[in-house]
A = this chain, B = another copy of it.
């Protein structure tokens, strides 16, 4: 068998280890070698460190972690004894699973619907497709297909009708946009991946909110970026018991702007990655004044602002009459904002339609670069998304937001009843509740959930440094009945 082992470098493993916080031991302090072994085992069983990954030599890892070589050697020996590490003289050591162990599972990686069986998936924050609108739009798209089928079907920047529909939607939201500022991507993650490949190099610093979207944090980590976390202040969930927490007012302070200014000035990061609209995982909405201040600080530091608007249309808690803050790019006078958007949450994840909004020159560069990854996004899904973003959009939005709102309220009613010491704050929108678990380990809850057939996303996956151990993210995109069952069981 050929050598399929990926080598994990010492800094990469150190970064992963920082995200693997173990449940506190009930009794005395745990020795360092056991902590290290336990963390590596956790990373393997959660699927965050792949099976077959070659680990660094003991001496190198000891140096990277500032531990003694004996500590690392003992940790490796422990893992070998438990079947989580295989070694061969001259070839090093690589991760493994002991015989009979269940395959690695990652609560944040989607379980395909057809494979879910009896698992209740509270890991993925997503909605079912809005029917009957999706079916109708798909049928209309098929009618348009003959026009496109005479060509080779490659649209590196996107099919014109979708670029126009996305540009029009931005214009409606208060941000005049032309189609040449839009690059259609394969999901928002496809857009983030492209932007990251083109704009962010190995070793570049990226300032991120703490907490932030787990997959972006991990993607940045894996690409060699160095994350600089900037906490929210005050954390929305800390303020008061759930039953007393009123909905958030966007103009109340959310970002800790003093800390943002300090980080941007001090670290001069290549980029600041933010989710200003119904943030994942907290659902927070940032007001215009705070957006302006962050933009000014980023401009002074020469940092790109990477605004993730995946959840921007999900304001289910904002009254119709209340104007939403304008998109970050609308407040940007120096073309430093790159926006990533998505049809995956409001329309359907199965379409895999996202986009990047940027200066036309950057759109062209990204389009060139993607020839070496996905080449383009499928044509038919672009036609469907364009259909849905036009006439049916208000009805689709109402349908999807009603579902998110109903589930959030069902959780909000059930949580204080079943788990009175857990804390959360009702967000103004978004896909989840961000719940503080009264000191219970989110990782331990996730492990217990796995045994009970419930996938739970542990809070520390949303931190850049293992923070948020005592939190979980509770997605509100599933059907309400499922939501109730989960609450009763959790």
Contact between chains at B51 and A365 (CB < 8 Å): yes
Kindly supply a per-residue 1/0 record for chain A positions 281-306, scoring 1 wherever the CB is within 8 Å of any chain B CB and 0 otherwise. Answer: 00000000000000000110011110
**Chain B residues near A365 (CB, 8 Å)?**
50-52
Which residue of chain B lies nearest to A97 when distances are taken between CB atoms in the complex? B361
Determine whether A18 belongs to the interface, using a CB cutoff of 8 Å to chain B.
no
Rounded to whole angstroms, the CA-CA distance of A155 and B380 in the bound complex is 18
Q: How many residues on A have C-beta within 8 angstroms of the other chain's C-beta atoms? A: 92
Rounded to whole angstroms, the CA-CA distance of A431 and B81 in the bound complex is 54
Contact between chains at B109 and A371 (CB < 8 Å): yes
Residue of A126, A215, A361, A380 with most chain B CB atoms under a 10 A cut-off: A380
Determine whether A142 belongs to the interface, using a CB cutoff of 8 Å to chain B.
yes
Query: Which of B114, B124, B303, B352 interacts with A377 by CB under 8 Å?
Result: B352
Which residue of chain B lies nearest to A160 when distances are taken between CB atoms in the complex? B114
Rounded to whole angstroms, the CA-CA distance of A142 and B129 in the bound complex is 13
Expressed in whole angstroms, the minimum distance between the Cβ of A478 and any Cβ of chain B is 9
Determine whether A381 belongs to the interface, using a CB cutoff of 8 Å to chain B.
yes
Which residue of chain B lies nearest to A372 when distances are taken between CB atoms in the complex? B219
Instruction: For chain A, residues 104 to 155, give those with C-beta under 8 angstroms from any C-beta of chain B.
Output: 106, 108-110, 112-114, 116, 124, 126-129, 131, 134-135, 138-139, 142, 145-146, 148-155
Contact between chains at A201 and B131 (CB < 8 Å): no
Instruction: For chain A, residues 295 to 333, give those with C-beta under 8 angstroms from any C-beta of chain B.
Output: 298-299, 302-305
Contact between chains at B187 and A110 (CB < 8 Å): no
Query: Which of B134, B150, B352, B477 interacts with A375 by CB under 8 Å?
Result: B352
Which residue of chain B lies nearest to A305 when distances are taken between CB atoms in the complex? B2
Expressed in whole angstroms, the minimum distance between the Cβ of A299 and any Cβ of chain B is 8
Query: Which stretch in A3-11, A34-42, A459-467 binds the other chain?
Result: A3-11
Determine whether A379 belongs to the interface, using a CB cutoff of 8 Å to chain B.
yes
Determine whether A484 belongs to the interface, using a CB cutoff of 8 Å to chain B.
no
Rounded to whole angstroms, the CA-CA distance of A112 and B361 in the bound complex is 17
Query: Which of B116, B134, B156, B381 interacts with A149 by CB under 8 Å?
Result: B134
Residue of A2, A154, A159, A349 with most chain B CB atoms under a 10 A cut-off: A2
Determine whether A376 belongs to the interface, using a CB cutoff of 8 Å to chain B.
yes
Contact between chains at B349 and A199 (CB < 8 Å): no
Contact between chains at A151 and B113 (CB < 8 Å): yes
Determine whether A244 belongs to the interface, using a CB cutoff of 8 Å to chain B.
no
Contact between chains at A103 and B152 (CB < 8 Å): no
Determine whether A92 belongs to the interface, using a CB cutoff of 8 Å to chain B.
no
Q: A110-B375, A152-B126 are in contact. Are A2 and B302 (CB under 8 A)?
A: yes
Residue of A304, A362, A377 with most chain B CB atoms under a 10 A cut-off: A377
Q: A193-B374, A374-B187 are in contact. Are A156 and B304 (CB under 8 A)?
A: no
Contact between chains at A364 and B103 (CB < 8 Å): yes
Contact between chains at B113 and A148 (CB < 8 Å): yes
Expressed in whole angstroms, the minimum distance between the Cβ of A207 and any Cβ of chain B is 13
**Chain B residues near A362 (CB, 8 Å)?**
4
- How many copies, total? 2
Query: Which of B3, B129, B149, B384 interacts with A302 by CB under 8 Å?
Result: B3
Which residue of chain B lies nearest to A126 when distances are taken between CB atoms in the complex? B152
Query: Which of B1, B186, B350 interacts with A153 by CB under 8 Å?
Result: B350
Contact between chains at B1 and A335 (CB < 8 Å): yes
Determine whether A235 belongs to the interface, using a CB cutoff of 8 Å to chain B.
no
Q: A128-B152, A335-B1 are in contact. Are A52 and B361 (CB under 8 A)?
A: yes
Instruction: For chain A, residues 186 to 240, give those with C-beta under 8 angstroms from any C-beta of chain B.
Output: 186-187, 189-190, 193, 198-199, 201, 215, 218-219, 222
Which residue of chain B lies nearest to A115 when distances are taken between CB atoms in the complex? B160
Q: A378-B351, A380-B381 are in contact. Are A371 and B160 (CB under 8 A)?
A: no
Query: Which of B142, B371, B377 interacts with A142 by CB under 8 Å?
Result: B142
Q: A153-B350, A304-B2 are in contact. Are A376 and B142 (CB under 8 A)?
A: no
Determine whether A27 belongs to the interface, using a CB cutoff of 8 Å to chain B.
no
Determine whether A348 belongs to the interface, using a CB cutoff of 8 Å to chain B.
yes
Rounded to whole angstroms, the CA-CA distance of A193 and B375 in the bound complex is 10
Which residue of chain B lies nearest to A299 when distances are taken between CB atoms in the complex? B2
Query: Which of B103, B154, B186, B270 interacts with A349 by CB under 8 Å?
Result: B154
Contact between chains at B351 and A153 (CB < 8 Å): yes
Contact between chains at B149 and A142 (CB < 8 Å): no
**Chain B residues near A193 (CB, 8 Å)?**
372-374
Q: A142-B142, A372-B193 are in contact. Are A380 and B1 (CB under 8 A)?
A: no
Q: Which 10 A-B pairs have the closest CB atoms?
A: A153-B350, A113-B151, A110-B154, A129-B149, A2-B336, A126-B152, A219-B372, A350-B379, A153-B349, A186-B374
